[in-house]
């Protein structure tokens, strides 16, 4: 049976949308017609770089596929573990494992990328860590190039950022927190883009959060380096002042930056430097967050707030709706080599229906995620997901 949504605004400009079985179709003859008046229809979000498979949170946020970071227990550095990870969310949510670039994410011995790729890994990643040894990183990039995989890198010089819990500045000084200079990010990007250029490899920096780091990404792109980068909503909406009062829900990795860096992120979204918007979904319970700031876990629960927070960029005219879904779906799918992320005939019928102007307030106590560790608790937002389809099947 072919189903046809009518009276929807399809991201991309159309006014109707049809699917049959698991794929999008252009054939609308004798189709069952469904009135989607007042709703927008868009590709299912491809969330690149989550730390947990959280089906309820993803459903609430319109996410149909996730790129799972290798920082799991056990670490995703073995083909058997990767195969199991790829099955974790099906059929409601497709999990695309990102294999560890080095064994145990230790940054010394290369993992078996070719074998892990054959087991289902869609990229290799350094995880939460930076590979300190430039020789090892060069081998990672060269091996990944030969395997046709993108390297997803953490952009933070670990020698500068070691033991730091904040970014150097007035806030960290007043709070007495161990801090690292923001240049730690730029140093990591400078080295790794040069190595990517030398090897001809593809590299994606999962989060770039400083003006200096973003300038290096621009320069590398102009030189023809195969580099892309991403960001999460926290780094264009919050700054280091938001950790005042030792607010552990705002302890993130990388840490929150200065307001000038926050503004630089918004500018980089507008000018196309940033390629991906992701949630950085990392649910942490009270046992990990209700601790002294230096002992608290890093991370935020972001899957179900990703779309609503990102739609603010459209209302502020930083991005168009079409460009927003390139960053949320098409670009992350392309980086992972997935035949998804767009509303084209023959593509998988992964899509969402949402109301972009529906107001609501984020409430950490009512989140669908495993834990409501969000720095955006009580924030008024707009944009609510109504229906989610994965492979043509509606996810309740």
Domain ranges, residue 140: 43-341+368-379
Q: Which tokens sit at 151?
A: 């390297």
Q: Are 165 and 251 in contact (CB under 8 A)?
A: yes
d(CA 150, CA 162): 26
pLDDT tens, residue by residue, 318-364: 999 999 999 999 999 999 999 999 999 899 999 999 999 999 999 99
Q: What is the DSSP string of 62-115?
A: TEEEEEE-S-SSS-S-SHHHHHHHHTSSTTTSEEEEEEESBGGG-SSSBP-HHH
Split into its structural domains, the chain has a count of 1
β-pairing, 32-35 with 40-43?
Answer: unpaired
For residue 18, being part of any structural domain is answered with no
Write the CATH number for 182.
3.20.20.140
Secondary structure of residue 368 in the 3-state scheme = coil
pLDDT at res. 34: 85
For residue 95, being part of any structural domain is answered with yes
pLDDT at res. 29: 74
Residues of the chain with pLDDT below 70 are none
What's this model's pTM, rounded to 2 decimal places?
Answer: 0.96
pLDDT at res. 24: 93
The sign one gets for the Cα dihedral 42, 44, 50, 55 is positive
For residue 157, being part of any structural domain is answered with yes
For residue 298, being part of any structural domain is answered with yes
Nearest Cα to Cα of residue 48 among 361, 380, 273, 306: 306
For residue 17, being part of any structural domain is answered with no
For residue 88, being part of any structural domain is answered with yes
For residue 125, being part of any structural domain is answered with yes
pLDDT at res. 14: 75
Q: Are 321 and 40 in contact (CB under 8 A)?
A: yes
For residue 394, being part of any structural domain is answered with no
pLDDT at res. 392: 92
Q: Are 329 and 42 in contact (CB under 8 A)?
A: yes
């Amino acid at each position: 049976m072919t189903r046809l949504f009518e009276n929807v605004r399809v991201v991309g400009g159309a006014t109707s949308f049809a699917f049959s079985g698991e794929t999008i179709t252009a054939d609308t003859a004798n189709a069952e017609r469904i009135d989607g008046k007042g709703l927008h229809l868009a590709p299912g979000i491809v969330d690149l770089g989550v730390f947990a498979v959280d089906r309820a949170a993803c459903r609430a946020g319109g996410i149909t596929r996730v790129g799972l970071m290798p920082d799991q227990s056990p670490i995703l550095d073995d083909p058997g573990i990767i195969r199991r990870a790829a099955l974790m969310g099906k059929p409601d949510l497709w999990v695309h494992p990102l294999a560890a670039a080095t064994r145990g994410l230790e940054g010394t011995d290369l993992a078996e990328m070719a074998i892990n790729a054959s087991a289902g890994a869609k990229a290799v990643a350094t995880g939460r860590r930076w590979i300190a040894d430039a020789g090892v990183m060069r081998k990672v990039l060269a091996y990944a190039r030969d395997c046709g995989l993108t390297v997803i890198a953490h952009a933070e010089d670990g020698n500068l950022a070691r033991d730091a819990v904040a970014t150097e500045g007035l806030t960290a000084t007043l709070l007495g927190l161990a801090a690292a200079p923001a240049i730690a990010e730029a140093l990591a990007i400078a080295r790794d883009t040069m190595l990517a250029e030398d090897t001809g490899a593809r590299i994606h920096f999962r989060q770039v959060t400083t003006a200096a780091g973003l300038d290096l990404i621009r320069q590398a792109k102009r030189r023809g380096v195969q580099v892309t980068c991403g960001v999460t909503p926290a780094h264009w909406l919050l700054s280091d002042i938001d950790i005042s009062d030792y607010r552990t829900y705002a302890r993130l990795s990388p840490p929150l930056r200065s307001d000038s860096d926050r503004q630089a992120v918004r500018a980089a979204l507008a000018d196309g430097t940033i390629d991906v918007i992701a949630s950085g979904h990392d649910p942490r319970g009270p046992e990990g967050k209700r601790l002294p700031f230096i002992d608290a876990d890093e991370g935020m629960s972001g899957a179900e707030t990703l779309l609503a927070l990102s739609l603010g960029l459209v209302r502020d005219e930083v991005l168009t709706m079409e460009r927003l879904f390139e960053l949320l779906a098409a670009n992350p799918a392309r980086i992972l080599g997935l035949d998804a992320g767009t509303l084209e005939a023959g593509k998988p019928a992964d899509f969402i229906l949402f109301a972009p102007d529906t107001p609501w307030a984020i409430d950490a106590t009512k989140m669908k995620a495993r834990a409501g560790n969000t720095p955006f608790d009580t924030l008024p937002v707009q944009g609510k997901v109504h229906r989610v389809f994965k492979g043509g099947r509606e996810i309740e």
